[in-house]
Amino acid sequence: MLSIALAPPVLAFASDTAVNHAHQPAYTQDGELVLPADYREWVFLSSGLGMSYSEKAPEGEPMFDNTFVDPESYREFVRTGTWPDKTQIVLEVRGSASRGSINQHGHYQSGGVHGVEVHVKDSARFKGGWAFFGFDGGSSAKKIPEAASCYSCHAAHGAVDTTFVQFYPTLLPFAQQHATLSAAFLKEEEKALK
Ligand code: HEC
């Protein structure tokens, strides 16, 4: 008589820390970050229009910024409320126009890319885990030094792990659900309510 062996329980291969990351940050031999060429096909997080950190309003037409993240890191954020190693978040700056074609009011994105900045989490490479890069039309860029204000503002005010999740509406609920909002951000929110 044939005996039928019971199938062993299915093993889960995905560990909590290892993310199957198809979009890894790539570097040149001298350590510059290579601009991810396909970032426009990544997950869209948000657009800011004319966002400014100083009290004085900027002059001229406001600029748009568009933010994208690699799809594996997006899915991991949804699962855990924070970013895995090898996350890349791209901020693309574009100009705006108000009157054109049939448009009479409001602003639409117009013209080319004014600049691209990338925030990368790569713990083996960067002290503190994260580094910033600014691309000025080139295909690779040097790391922005840690003394730059990028690091201090993001560390002090970014809602999750030095990133501005408070401005990414599809992600904020997952940070709330997993209680990953930074203590500094929660304090700021509390103050704003008073
Ligand atoms: C005074 C605060 C402040 C400073 C200084 C600052 N940023 Fe940001 N940054 C922000 C805010 C606010 C956002 C969210 C933008 C949005 O919602 O469109 C952001 C978003 C970003 C993002 C998208 C990923 C993320 O971390 O949320 C990148 C990339 C970025 N900034 C790069 C830079 C670089 C490079 C510098 C330095 C040259 C810099 N930032 C300096 C406030 C700051």
Which residue's CA is the nearest one to ligand 1's atom 12? 164
Q: Is residue 179 part of a domain?
A: no
Lookup result for tokens 């030094």 = 145
Bigger pLDDT: 89 or 61?
89
What total number of domains does the chain contain?
1
Q: Is residue 156 part of a domain?
A: no
For 182-190, what is the mean pLDDT?
94
Q: Is residue 77 part of a domain?
A: yes
Q: What's the CA gap between 175 and 89, in Å, rounded?
A: 17
Which residue's CA is the nearest one to ligand 1's atom 8? 150
Q: What's the 194 CA to ligand 1 centre distance in angstroms?
A: 26
Instruction: Tell me the pLDDT tens digit for each residue of 17-27.
Output: 668 888 999 99
pLDDT confidence of residue 11 = 47
Query: Is the pLDDT reported for residue 151 higher than 90?
Result: yes
117 lines ligand 1 (CB under 6 A): yes
62-66: long-range contacts, CB 8 A cutoff, minimum separation 24 = 62/96, 62/107, 63/93, 63/94, 63/95, 63/96, 63/114, 64/93, 64/94, 64/95, 64/96, 64/107, 64/109, 65/91, 65/92, 65/93, 65/94, 66/91, 66/92, 66/94, 66/109
Q: Is residue 133 part of a domain?
A: yes
65 lines ligand 1 (CB under 6 A): yes
Single-letter code of the amino acid located at 184? A
Q: Is residue 2 part of a domain?
A: no
| Chain mean pLDDT for the chain | 91
**Both tokens of residue 19?**
């993310």
CB-CB contact of 159 with 182 (8 Å): yes
Q: Is residue 170 part of a domain?
A: no
For 75-80, what is the mean pLDDT?
98
pLDDT confidence of residue 12 = 46
Q: The CATH number of the domain where 42 resides is what?
A: 3.50.70.20
For 165-171, what is the mean pLDDT?
97
Q: Is residue 181 part of a domain?
A: no
Q: Is residue 127 part of a domain?
A: yes
CB-CB contact of 42 with 71 (8 Å): yes
- Domain span holding position 88: 33-147
Single-letter code of the amino acid located at 78? V
pLDDT confidence of residue 4 = 56
149 lines ligand 1 (CB under 6 A): yes
For 120-148, what is the mean pLDDT?
96
Which residue's CA is the nearest one to ligand 1's atom 36? 150
Lookup result for tokens 């509406």 = 169
pTM of the model: 0.90
Which ligand 1 atom sits nearest the alpha carbon of residue 168? 17
